[in-house]
Amino acid sequence: MLPTSADCHQHIIEMDNLSFNYGGRDVIRDLNYQVRERDFVGVIGANGAGKTTLLRMIVGLLTPTAGEIRLFGQPVRRFKDWERIGYVPQKNALNPLFPATVREVVQSGLYNNKSLLRRVGRAEQRKCEDAMEVMRITSIANSRVGELSGGQQQRVFLARALINHPDLLILDEPTVGIDAETQKGFFELITHMHAHHHMTLLMVSHDLDMIHDYLGPEPVQKCGGVHFYSRHSHEAQDCAEDNLRHTLI
């Protein structure tokens, strides 16, 4: 049977009957949702609805009370390909004495956090310079990251997440504390990466205008107070091509 437009792309994140509670109080209850390759999923909800809790389960920092999450088909607890995923948590406030420079922190994204101060080759330096340029932090490349403002630090962590061109980018309120111009540039960048480079994105945001403009007016799924908005890049065209390939092979 030929794939339909709904199923011709790999599931990147699968959440099956997922629940989480803190001390017996349900935060996420019985969530079933799949993020497919090339989806851009926006997660909206009031403060305390459970959005950060959900992202922390997806990246393996919290264990579900019930149900399962799979990443690229693997249960999270067995998943090893973390370099395929860029994750920027909410509020990365750093100790002012944190010794690394902006450049070193951005470069560390190449090594999945294994070594902050490892030597890098020319191609890797180029990637780092590109990521810093995109996030407009080149002029502070040699500053100690602990001494920067919250918004500047956030841009450093975004550059670090982008440096590897991850297959899946997970962002928890990525533009909080960032000035309007950089915010606009950042949204242009991620929507471009979605539409033209087919990156898969999962983003928690309170920016309803951006979510509605890019992802549409209605959520595709709701779980308690957590609402999911979604848009797929080039769905019809890609799937028509895939169907054709299936027919020809």
User: Tokens standing for 154?
Assistant: 């956030």
Nearest approach, Cβ of 42 to ligand ATP (angstroms)?
A: 13
Residue (52 or 154) nearer to ligand ATP, CB: 52
Residue 2 is classified by DSSP as: P
* 85 vs 226: CA distance, rounded Å: 22
Q: Which of 4, 47, 139, 247 binds ligand ATP (CB under 6 A)?
A: 47
What CA–CA distance (Å, rounded) separates 75 from 68?
7
Contact status: 48 vs ligand ATP (CB under 6 A): yes
Distance of closest approach, residue 172 Cβ to ligand ATP, in angstroms: 7
Distance (Å, whole) CA 124 – CA 131: 11
- Tell me how long the chain is: 249
In sequence order, which residues have a C-beta less than 8 Å from that of residue 1 and are 6 or more positions away?
none
Q: How far is the CB of 33 from ligand ATP (least distance, A)?
A: 16
* Sole binder of ligand ATP in the list 52, 153, 164, 233 (CB under 6 A): 52
Residue found under tokens 């992202």: 55
Report residue 234 as tokens: 């080039």
* Binding flag, residue 200, ligand ATP (CB under 6 A): no
Residue 130 makes CB contacts below 8 A (sequence gap 6+) with: none
> Cβ(134)–Cβ(126) under 8 Å?
no
154 touching ligand ATP, by CB under 6 A: no
**Smallest separation, CB 239 to ligand ATP (Å):** 33
Q: Which of 27, 106, 148, 162 binds ligand ATP (CB under 6 A)?
A: 27
Among 42, 50, 64, 166, binds ligand ATP (CB under 6 A): 50
- Chain positions contacting ligand ATP, by CB under 6 A: 22, 27, 45, 47-53
